[in-house]
Amino acid sequence: MCKMQAQTKICPHCGNEFICSASSKCWCYEISVMPEILDEIENKYHFCLCRACLLIYSTEGAGGML
């Protein structure tokens, strides 16, 4: 079994530092983002966003202003 190590990353949207676990326990798997918005995020940033920024684009947040 391969264990994923947590990494410190910088959010490309806000510049804040965050810990990315790159596992199914990450907020990336918990926050619902419409597929077309997720594609836009991936194309624009190419890296993970912090939880706060991902929530902005989520169906729970403001509706995804890139």
- Is residue 51 classed exposed, middle or buried when 0-12, 13-18 and 19+ CB atoms within 10 A define those classes? middle
User: Whole-prediction pTM value?
Assistant: 0.72
pLDDT band at 4 (very low <50, low <70, confident <90, very high): low
How is residue 19 annotated by DSSP?
A: E
Going by C-beta distance under 8 Å and a sequence separation of 6 or more, which residues neighbour residue 55?
A: 31, 61
Question: Residue range 1-10: average pLDDT?
Answer: 69
pLDDT > 50? residue 1: no
pLDDT digits (tens, 9 = 90+) for 8-66: 889 999 999 998 876 656 777 788 888 888 888 889 987 789 999 999 888 765 555 55
Q: Where are the alpha helices (DSSP H) in 1-66?
A: 35-45, 51-57
CA angle 18, 21, 23 (to 5 degrees): 145
pLDDT at 13: 92
